A and B are shown apart, each in its own frame.
Chain A
């Protein structure tokens, strides 16, 4: 059974940093592109970043590029999201998600974690 368990969500001040983690199990972790998606009541679901199975290729939308960094530790089946220069509008539930295949071109999300809440507020 695929399991994705996020952690690291917290209350942080604007301009601050936070690192999210996602522990994966139930599948061959290094054979799948992994993805972060966030959700807010106002903006709905927003793709945040993707990383290929080997960790060689990444992709980001303009809204987070240069502030967020996705990475992975395949030896520990763990995905990370380093978030810097956080803004009020980054407040959201962050979901870790698995794609259906290995390369950065694999963009179908077939499993989601339960999410972790990030609140950016002074």
Chain B
């Protein structure tokens, strides 16, 4: 199975900050990487697919990059609505696996 490792596990930041979350796959997944945002008590929401393609309705302050085994999610200027938990997930093959999550909290 492909292991997905996110870092950091928790990130403290302020409104307006630029933040980056890293996701590493244990083997090559090409660009088959999704990023999700989950708020407390809610379902995850797809933000980015194929490592870099922003879903419709997702603010342009979100961006993704990477391929192969290393990927990043960047939020260019944090807004109050962005404080949530972020997960990466590969969809290169079955079994699908997720990172353990990065909790983005207000400093």
Contacts and interface: CB of A to CB of B under 8 A. Distances in A.
A45 B98 contact: yes
Instruction: Report the 10 A-B pairs with minimum CB-CB distance, sorted nearest first.
Output: A107-B91, A112-B43, A47-B96, A45-B98, A61-B95, A59-B94, A108-B91, A110-B46, A44-B100, A114-B43
**Secondary structure of the A side of the interface?**
strand
On chain A, which size bracket covers the interface?
20 to 34
A61 to B, nearest CB: 4
Interface of A: 35, 44-47, 50, 59, 61-62, 95, 100, 107-115
A107 B98 contact: no
A115 B94 contact: no
Contacts of A108: 34, 46, 49, 91
Interface residues of B, number: 23
B44 interface: yes
Interface of B: 1, 32, 34, 36, 42-46, 49, 55, 87, 89, 91, 93-101
Contacts of A50: 94, 96
Contacts of B93: 107
B46 A109 contact: yes
B46 to A, nearest CB: 5
A47 B34 contact: no
Nearest to B42: A114
A42 to B, nearest CB: 10
Contact of A45 (B32, B87, B91): B87
Given A110-B49, A111-B46, 20 more contacts: A44-B87, A44-B98, A44-B100, A47-B95, A59-B94, A59-B95, A61-B95, A62-B95, A107-B32, A107-B91, A107-B96, A108-B34, A108-B46, A109-B34, A109-B44, A109-B46, A110-B46, A110-B55, A112-B44, A113-B43
A45 B49 contact: no
B44 A46 contact: no
A86 to B, nearest CB: 20
A9 to B, nearest CB: 14
A62 B45 CA distance: 26
A99 to B, nearest CB: 9
Contacts of B36: 109
